[in-house]
Amino acid sequence: MLEKNIYIRIIFTLNTCDMKQLTVVFALLCIFACSSEDIVSTVEESVKPANEVAIQTVNLLDSLEIMDYIYSIIGPMAKTRSNLPGGGYILPDNWDSQLTDEQRELIRNSFPRPLFSAERNALRKSFPLVEYSNTVVMNYPSSGYNCFAYSLGFNNKWIEFSTWDQVRYGYENASSVYHAAYDYMKGATSISRYYPVVWGWGNTPLHASLGGSPHCEAPYSKMGRMWLLWHLVSVFSNGMYGVPVETYGAVSPTRSLSEIDANAMKEISEDIHENIIFSPDELMMIARKVKTCRDSSRFESLFNEWKEAWHYSLSNNTATTRNLPQYADLKAMGKEIIPLLIEKMVTEEDNFFAIRLYEDLQDNPNLIIRYANDDPHQLEGLQQTTKKTIKKWLEYNSN
C-alpha cells in the first residue's frame, strides 16, 4: 500500500508529463542510483530523515484512508459525495479532531491533502457551500501571486484587474505584456489543456480559476494569498467571488497584433519586465528617514496585524486592504509613517500590498504611479508598480 500511494502521488504531481517521459525519468534515476554508490553513501545520512518523514506521512494518510478519499474525488473520473459508489470515502466533520500536533503538521505539508476543520470553517464564512468532499488543498499558501496570475501560468507576480476591459486586454495580450506562454481569447478552443475562467459580480471581476475544459466542474483556484485549491464550481459560486462569467482559451502567441503597434508593445514589455534593484546608498537613505519617525513600535504592531488580516482575507485585490480595521489606525498616524512603509516594501517583497496605504497618505501626486485605463502598464504586476513607486520616492528625497 505504501509503495502504491507513493507511486500514485508521484504520478499526480507529474500529471503534465506523459507516461513515456515518466518511464525515461525513472529509468535514468535507476541507472544513476546503481552506478553511484560513492555518491549515495555520501548523502545517505542527509536523505534518510527526509525519507523517514515521507514514509511516516504516507503511513498516516493510509491509516486514515485519506489518500483513498482524495484520489476518489480528484482522479481522472472525479466523483462527488452524491455519486461515490456505496457512500465512498467520506471524511466526517471534525475528522482531524483526534490528530496529534505532529500528525497534523505531517498532513499540513503533504499535497494533495484535505482541508482541516478550521480551514473549512474559515472558507465557509466567504463561501457557504464549502465541503470536505469537494475541496482539496494542492499547494502551500503563497503571497507572491494571486488567482489571475496563476490562471495565466505565473507563480511569481500579483496581477489585478479592476474592469472587464482590463481582463480582456490582459488575457488577449498575455504573451506580449507578461511574457506568458500563450495569449487567451474569450470563448476560444484552447491549444493547451487548461481554460481560465474569470468570476465576478456585475461590472467587477473578482477571481479566476483554471479548469481542464470550458465548463470544467473541477477547477483549480489560487485563494488570494492563501492556498491553491481543487474544487467544484458550486463550492465558490455566489460567495465572495461571485459566479463564473467569462471563459478563455489559450491560442497561439504568434497571432498578428493588428490593433496594437508591435514596436510599442515591445517597448512596454521591456519596461514592465525591467529588473529594478535598490542600491546600498538608497537603502541607507531609507534607514536615515526611518530614524526620524516617531512611534515606530506602534506602527510595527499595527502593520503586522494588518498583514496577517490581509493574508487570511482571500481577496485578490489589494484595494480591499482598506476595509481591514488596522488600515484606519495606520492611516490616522499620518504621512510621517511613509518612510516606515517604504522600508517595509523594500525589505520584504510580499509587503507590496502596502502600496495602497502609501498612495492614500502621499499628498504629492508626482510620487504616485497612476495608469490610464488604456495603458498596458497597468497590467505590469503590482510588485513592479511598487518598486517603481519606491524609486520615485527615493529620487525625490535625494534632491
**Separation CA 240–CA 242 (nearest Å):** 6
Task: Provide the pLDDT for residue 2.
Answer: 35
State the pLDDT at residue 330.
Answer: 95
pLDDT of residue 74: 73
User: Which pLDDT value is given to residue 15?
Assistant: 41
Q: What is the pLDDT of residue 32?
A: 36
* Grid cell digits, residue 279: 542600491
Please tell me the distance from the alpha carbon of residue 5 to that of residue 68, in angstroms, as a whole number.
9
Return the pLDDT at 12.
39
**Is the overall model pTM greater than 0.85, yes or no?**
no
DSSP state of 242: B
Residue 58 has what pLDDT? 64
Q: How far is CA 238 from the centre of its chain?
A: 21
Contact indicator for 382, 159 with CB cutoff of 8 Å: yes
Q: What is the mean pLDDT of each run of 10 residues along the chain (399 residues)?
A: 38 39 40 36 39 66 72 62 54 84 88 91 92 88 92 90 90 86 90 91 94 82 94 91 94 59 59 78 91 89 93 88 93 94 92 93 91 72 89 88
Sheet with 204-211, side-by-side order of all strands: 113-114, 135-139, 228-231, 220-222, 204-211, 195-201, 243-251, 183-186
Name every residue whose Cβ is closer than 8 Å to that of residue 223 and which is 6 or more positions away in sequence. Answer: 123, 147, 229, 314
